[in-house]
Amino acid sequence: MSETIVLVVDDSRVSRMMTKSAIERLRPDWVVLEAASGEDALSAVALDRPDFILMDVNMPGMGGLEAARQLRPRLPKAGISLLTANIQDSIRDQAAAMGVGFMSKPLRDEDLAAFLAAGRPPS
């Protein structure tokens, strides 16, 4: 059986640590990788094929929406969700149009658990 990989993408080291910790509480046997930018996320998926990606929207360089646009066709079966404090409807609409989920910060364990179980956050 292959290992399940989750990629956490956020320019904030603290946010990555908090998200990683939440994932490890729920799924201690899964591998959690980190990336600090959209560009780093694209590089990371070239090496490892994550099953799930949680991505911030606002990051220096390539933001989460553009990274998700590029990642979605490369990883059509991966669960991808934005995880952001930027809760504008336009961001949600763009994510939905790409088949990408949306969760707001601060991350709630029940939303994360639903995403990790189904590959998408609860509606």
Report the percent of the chain where pLDDT is more than 70. 95
**Per residue in 20-72, pLDDT tens?**
999 999 999 999 999 999 999 999 998 889 999 999 999 999 999 999 999 99
The domain that holds 23 is classified in CATH as: 3.40.50.2300
Report if residue 67 sits inside a domain: yes
Domain assignment of residue 123, yes or no: no
Number of domains in the chain: 1
Q: Cβ(119)–Cβ(76) under 8 Å?
A: no
Distance CA 54, CA 84 (A): 9
Q: What is the chain's Cα-based Rg?
A: 13
**Closest CA relative to residue 79, chosen from 121, 35, 30:** 121
- Structural domain contains residue 55: yes
Above 60 in pLDDT, residue 123? no
Please work out, in degrees rounded to the nearest 5, the angle formed at the alpha carbon of residue 104 by the alpha carbons of 9 and 69: 50
Reported as a single tens digit per residue, the pLDDT across 64-107 is 999 999 999 999 999 999 998 877 788 889 989 998 999 988 89
